[in-house]
Amino acid sequence: MSEGKQKIEVPVMADLFAKGEKPEYLLWIGSAGAFDDRYKKVTRAFVKILTHLNISYAVLGVEESSSGDVARRAGNEMLFQMQAMTNIEIMNSYEVKKIITCDPHAFNTFKNEYPDYDGNYEVIHHTQFLQQLITEGKIKIDSDLFKDKIITYHDPCYLGRANGEYNAPREVLAAIPSKKVEMKRNKSNALCCGAGGGQMFKEAEKGDKEIFIERTEDALETGANIIVTACPYCMVMMTDGLKYKNKEEEIKNYDIAELIEQSLEL
Amino acid sequence: MINSIIFVLLLIAAIAFFSWNVKKISRNIKLGRDIDIKDNRKKRWGLVFKVAIFQSKMIGLPISGILHIFVYAGFILVNIEMLEVMVDGIAGTHRALSFFGFLYPIAISAFEFFALLVIIGCLVFLARRNVVRTNRFWKPEMKWWPRLDANLILITEVVLMTSIFFMNASDVILQSRGFGHYDKVGSFFLSSFFIPMLTNLPSETLVFIERTCWWLHIVGIFIFLNYIPYSKHFHVFLSFINVFYSKLEPVGKIANMPSITKEVKSMLTGEEPPMDDDAEEVAFGAQDVKQLTWKHLMDSYTCTECGRCTRVCPANITGKKLSPRKVMMDARDRLELTGKNIDKHDADYSDDKSLFDYISAEELWACTTCNACTNACPVNIDQVSLILELRRYIVMEQAAAPGELNAIFNNIENNGAPWQFSQDDRMLWAEELYINEK
C-alpha cells in the first residue's frame, strides 16, 4: 500500500444485502465504464469522489449487464427488452430506488424506457449529482490546477437533446477556476460525436469525413486546451479525433468527473 | 348575374375537389397502424400555440424564420379579404364591406401592407433557392418535382399578391373618375404607388384590369387551394394537427413494442404467453407504410421539405447518403403510390415493393439517433422513430443487420456487454484503487 493512500473497497450490492445493509444509491458502471480502458479511469475518478464524500452507494458488480441501449437503437428490440427485464429484476430484488451513472445512454434508458417494464427509479447522471454536491457546498474547489486552462464542453446527445440537461455539466465546470469557451454548435444545436445508435461498433457508411473529426474540429476552433465530455462514447470519439489531428499532446480530453477528482487531489 | 353563377359554381367545384383530395390523404394516413395519442390535451394545445401558430422553432434559423412569418402571417391576414371577395362574388356587389366607412380604407391598406410582406418573403425565398442556392435546397433529393414544386408555390403567391395591388390601384382611379359602380370608398396606401403607372389608361381598360385581377386573385386562390394536396405545401394545413400529436416524452425515449414484451416475458418465465384472440399478427418493425403508425404517415405528409433536419444531420454533414428529409419524402411518396394502388385495384393490392425500394440500408444504418433532426424540425416530425422502425424490420424480420452489429448482439446475449469481455470481469476496474488520505 502506498504512502498516505487508502485502498478503496468498492461496495457491491450483493455483499451489502447479505449484511442487511441498503445503500442509498446504485452506481451503474456500464459496459464502457467497466471494460473500456479510457473510461475505466473515469469510473475510478468518480468512485474516488463518492468515497471522499462518504456517499452511501454500491455497484452491482458481476451482476451488472448491458443496459440494452445500443441493442434497442440498432433495431434489436428483443435483445433490448431481455436486457431491460433482466436488469430490472436484479435491481428490484435489491430494492434500488436511486441510480447514478456516468453514462448518458444508460441514464436515458433507465429514466425513460425502463418504466415500461416496471423499472421505476430516480435516475441521476453523474454531472447532475456533482452539480448538486457543489450547490450544497459539499464539493468546494479552490485548486488553481486549471486556472490557466481553456475548457470547452461537448454536449452528449443523450444528456442534452435527449433529456434537456445542458446546465448541470456547465455549472460543475463553472465551479472549477478556469476559462470556459463554447463551441459554435452547442447545447441543443451540438453536433453528435458520431458514436450513438450503434455507430460506435461499426464502420461508418461511405462519406467524405468521419463525424468525430468534424466534431473535433469544432472543439479545436475554440482554442481550448481541454475538451470535456460526460459520456463514454463521446470520450472515445473525441480522443480518436485528437489523435487523428495529432493534437493529443497539447490538448487533453477529460470527463467532468476527472476534473473534479484532479481539483480535489484525490 | 351570370358572373355570380360562374363564381358560385367555381366556389363549389373548388371546395368539392379539395375535400375529395383531403379525404384521400386522410384515408392514406389512416392506413397506418393505430396508436393512441390523446393524453395531455392541455400540453398539446400549448404546443400548437407555441410551435405551430407562433412558429417558435422557425426562429432557429433567423432569416428564413422571420421571412416565413411574413409570408405565413401575411397570407392568413390577406385572406381575410377573401370574405369580401366571397360576398361580392356571390351577391354581385362591389366592395360590399365598404359600409364600414373610414375603417374600410384603413383595413385594405393594412392588407396591402401584409401582401407586400408576402411578396418580399417570397422573392427572397426564390432568390435563396435559385440564385444564392442555399445548400439545403440543393441536396440530391431536391431535384425536378421538389424544386419545381417550391418555385411554383412561391411564384403563385407573388402573382396572387401582386394582383391585389393592380386591382386596388385601378379601382381608386375609377373611383376618382366616378366611373360606373366604382363608388368612392377611399384610397389605399400602398397601391397608390401603382396609380401613376395606370392613370393615363382609359376607364374601360382600367375596368378590364380591375376585373381581371379580381378574377385572377379569386380563381388563383381556388386553383392554389387545389394544388396544395398535390404538393409539399400541404403543411399549411397539417402542421397544426401534426404538432398537436407531437411526441411529449423526452426526445431520447424510443417507442416501446408491447408485442415483444409479451414474448420476452414468456421467454424469461418459461410460461406460455397469454392467448389473445383479438391480437393481430404484427410484424416486428416496418417494411412498408401500413406497418408504420398513422403518426409516421402524418409526419410524412406534413413535411414541407425545408431541409432543416438534413442541414443538422451529422451523417449528412459528413457526406453520407442519409438525409432525414429524404426519408420523410420517400415515406410520403410510397404512401401516395400505395393510395393510388388502392384506388386502382383494391385495399389488399400489393405491388411487391416496399419502403426498402425507396430507402436503402446504407441510409438507415448511418443514423446516430442523435435527434438533431427532430430538434430542428419546425413542425415536430419524428424522423428518428421512422428510421428505427425500418431498422427493427431489417434486424428482427430479415435478420440482415450489418455484421459488426450482429457481433455486438451476440456479445450482449452471451456476456452482457457489446465487447467480448466476460461478465465475471466487470469489477476489474476497481482493483488497486486508492484515494489520497486527507
Mean pLDDT of successive 10-residue stretches along chain A, which has 266 residues:
79 94 96 95 96 96 96 96 96 96 97 96 98 95 92 97 96 95 96 93 92 96 96 96 94 96 92
* Residue B434 and residue B336 in one domain: no
pLDDT of residue A1: 46
Residue B87 domain-assigned?
yes
Q: What is the pLDDT of residue B202?
A: 82
For residues B97 and B78, what is the distance between their CA atoms, to the nearest angstrom?
15
B317 and B361 both lie in a single domain: yes
Query: pTM for this structure?
Result: 0.91
Residue B46, in any domain of the structure: no
- Sorted by where each begins, the domain ranges of chain A are 13-131, 140-263
- Within this chain, domains A13-131 and A140-263 share the same CATH topology: yes
Task: Kindly state the cell numbers that stand for B132.
Answer: 444564392
In terms of Cα–Cα distance, which of A140, A144, A80, A156 is closest to A113? A80
Whether B434 and B312 map to the same domain: the answer is: no
Q: DSSP secondary-structure letter at B345?
A: S
Closest CA to B297 of B331, B325, B326: B331
Least CB–CB distance from A75: residue in B394, B429, B432: B394
Does residue B43 form part of some domain? Answer: no
Is ipTM > 0.85 here?
Answer: yes
Reported in sequence order, the residue ranges of B160-293 that DSSP labels E, i.e. its strands, are none
* Same domain? B209 vs B347: no
Q: What pLDDT is recorded for position B279?
A: 59
CATH code for the domain defined by A140-263: 3.40.50
Determine the distance in angstroms separating the CA of A157 from the nearest CA of chain B, rounded to an integer. Answer: 5
* Per-position DSSP letters for chain A, written without gaps between them: --TTEEE----BHHHHHHTT---SEEEE-HHHHHH-HHHHHHHHHHHHHHHHTT--EEB-GGG----SHHHHHTT-HHHHHHHHHHHHHHHHHTT--EEEES-HHHHHIIIIIGGGGT---EEEEHHHHHHHHHHTTSS-----TTTT-EEEEPPPTTTTTTT---HHHHHHHHTSSSEEE--SS-GGGPPP-S-TTTGGGSPPPS-SS-HHHHHHHHHHHTT-SEEEESSHHHHHHHHHHHHHTT-TTTSEEEEHHHHHHHHTT-
Q: Which of A199, A242, A250 is nearest to A218 (CA)?
A: A242
Together in a domain, B98 and B147: yes
Verify whether the Cβ–Cβ distance A161 to B394 is below 8 Å: no
Same domain, B122 and B18: yes
Q: Which of residues 259-298 of B touch A (CB under 8 A)?
A: 260-261, 263-265, 267-268, 284-285
Q: How far apart are CA B11 and CA B13, in angstroms?
A: 5
Structural domains in chain B (count): 3
Residue B255 lies in a domain: no
CATH node for A13-131: 3.40.50.1860
Q: Is the same domain home to B300 and B381? A: yes
How far apart CA A97 and CA B291 sit, in angstroms, is 37
Could you tell me if B352 and B411 lie in one domain? Answer: no
Residue B274 inside a domain? The answer is no
What was the pLDDT predicted at B407? 95
**Domain annotation covers residue B48:** no
| A60 phi, psi to nearest 5 deg | -80, -20
* Domain boundary, last residue among B223, B244, B265: B244
Position B32 scores a pLDDT of 93
DSSP state string for A234-266: HHHHHHHHHHHTT-TTTSEEEEHHHHHHHHTT-
Are residues B144 and B179 both part of a single domain? Answer: yes
Profile chain B (438 residues) by mean pLDDT over runs of 10 residues: 84 93 95 90 94 91 90 84 82 78 83 90 94 91 92 92 86 81 77 78 83 87 91 92 95 92 86 64 88 96 95 96 97 95 87 94 96 96 97 94 94 94 94 87
The verdict on B287 and B406 lying in the same domain is no
Domain identity same for B378 and B425 = no
User: Which of B 371-390 lie inside 8 A of A, CB atoms?
Assistant: 371-372, 375, 388
In which domain, by residue range, is B425 found? 402-438
Chain B nearest CA to A241, separation (Å): 14
Task: Say if B42 falls within a structural domain.
Answer: no
Q: What is the CATH number of the domain that holds B353?
A: 1.10.1060
Minimal CA separation from A65 to chain B, in Å:
5
Same domain, yes or no: B417 and B392: no
Note whether B284 contacts A77, CB cutoff 8 Å.
yes
